[in-house]
Amino acid sequence: MTMPMVQVVRHEDADDLAVRAANRLLTTLVALQADGHTPQVCLAGGRIAMATYAEFSKLVPSSDLDTSRLELWWSDERFLPTEDPERNAGPALALLASAFPIDPAHTHPMPSADGTVDAAASAATYAKELGDTVFDLCLLGMGPDGHVASIFPNHPSSETTNQPVIGVSDAPKPPPERISLTLARINTSAQVWLLVPGADKSAAVARAIGGDTELPAGRVTGRDRTLWLLDEESAAELPYFECSL
């Protein structure tokens, strides 16, 4: 059986990471569409993800990407009202929609806290919407503690489960109520890209890439490829190899 590829790419800084990740994202999506396929893409929240989407939005209008053939999902969400700027989906969609049309029928934000339904029930709703969808590409960030999506170390959210989506309560960082894909569902993705800049992430990066399964990030693996997109600061505790091809 072929083992999935794990690749580490270093960038100069967070700005360089965002620019190059955006170019890589565009190239990947255009290639996926080449045979008529509609890419299933799972988006992340956070500063580096938003910076990447901003750079991506600049590239799309002059590209060959057919934006009507993109299916957008989310890896996690803060269980807040729809218009709350701290949610992941709203700001990301507003940014992308400023550059190209967004088809609501192909856009799948996680439920908000506008009603009386709790995060766990909303997670079940999202799992039903997700169905048997398999992501061609899942984007993730990572926290200094090694968490990905809203799966935190030493927390009930990181317990093994076959559920695709869970409600998260008492999260170690605010807000405490969240919805998240589980690691089991993330790991069905063909490719998983982790976008991780910053010196405060360097220890967790080294542990996760080294296979430390105590960290959620250390348990993430795409079926075909796992790509770590780092900057010099976040990669500081990794061994450095020079190669010429």
Q: pLDDT tens digits for 95-140?
A: 999 999 999 999 999 999 987 679 999 999 999 999 999 999 999 9
In a domain, 191, yes or no: yes
- Adjacency order of strands within the sheet including 225-231: 5-11, 225-231, 191-196, 137-140, 40-43, 71-74
Domain assignment present for 89: yes
CA distances from 242 to 10, 15, 131, 239 (A): 12, 23, 44, 10
Domain contains 19: no
**What pLDDT is stored for residue 114 in this prediction?**
87
CATH code of the domain in which 54 resides = 3.40.50.1360
Predicted confidence at residue 117, as pLDDT, reads: 77
Give the total number of structural domains in the chain. Answer: 1
Say if 222 falls within a structural domain: no
CA distances from residue 232 to 6, 14, 192, 196, 198 in whole angstroms, order as listed: 18, 9, 20, 10, 8
What does the pLDDT read at residue 239?
83
- Domain range enclosing 142: 38-210
Q: What is the CA radius of gyration of the chain?
A: 17
Residue 148 belongs to some domain of the structure: yes
CA distances 80 to 37, 55, 87, 176, 194, Å, are 33, 27, 7, 10, 25
| pLDDT tens per residue across span 232-241 | 999 999 986 5
Q: Identify whether 10 is part of a domain.
A: no
Scored b (16 or more CB within 10 A) or e, 138-156 reads bbbbbbebbbbbbbbbebe
pLDDT in tens, the chain (245 residues): 456 789 999 999 999 999 999 999 999 999 999 989 999 999 999 999 999 999 999 999 999 999 999 999 999 999 999 999 999 999 999 999 999 999 999 999 999 998 767 999 999 999 999 999 999 999 999 999 999 999 999 999 999 999 999 999 999 999 999 999 999 999 999 999 999 999 999 999 999 999 999 999 999 999 999 999 999 999 999 986 544 43
**pTM of the predicted structure, to 2 decimals:** 0.94
So what's the pLDDT on residue 243?
44
Residue 221 belongs to a domain: no
Domain contains 51 = yes
**Which residues lie across from 231 on neighbouring strands?**
11
